[in-house]
Copies of this chain bind each other. A is one copy, B any other.
Amino acid sequence: MRLPVQRAIEVCPVEVAVSVLGGTWKLTLVKHLLGGTRRFGELCRLVPLANTRTLTRQLRELEEDGILVRTVYPQVPPKVEYALSPLGESLAPLVDGMDAWGAAFASRLGDGGGTRRAGRT
């Protein structure tokens, strides 16, 4: 288990989820994998703004945390497939919820809170 996850377990469950899913592009990767098994090159094309070094790192962390399964085929050219584990699949409602929330947030640009004064400062 990775150190940030170990540390988060001492804090609270929300921080555990954050430590597992908080890396750059991780939720986007999970979202794409919810659609089915993908190869590395496919994921790179699905997330064009990410550099491959970062994608590799994040996929390895997701694998280490048990979110996905990485299958290496003994062939040339190399063939590697990534698929969500059952634990990874359990993230579907969360990813859907964040997708919907993000879409709603983006569509209401400029609405919402701000500082309200109870009197003069």
Binding site for B on A (CB under 8 A): 1, 8-9, 11-18, 20, 22, 27-28, 31, 49, 63, 65-74, 85-88, 90-91, 93-95, 97-106, 108-121
Closest chain B CB from A41 CB (angstroms): 18
Complex copy number for this chain: 2
B119 and A13 within 8 A (CB): no
A67 proximity list for chain B (CB < 8 A): 112-113
Identity of the chain B residue whose Cβ is nearest the Cβ of A84 in the assembled complex = B113
CA A95 to CA B98, docked complex, whole Å: 10
Residue from B13, B101, B112 within 8 A of A102 (CB atoms): B13
B118 and A74 within 8 A (CB): yes
A28 proximity list for chain B (CB < 8 A): 11-12, 14-15
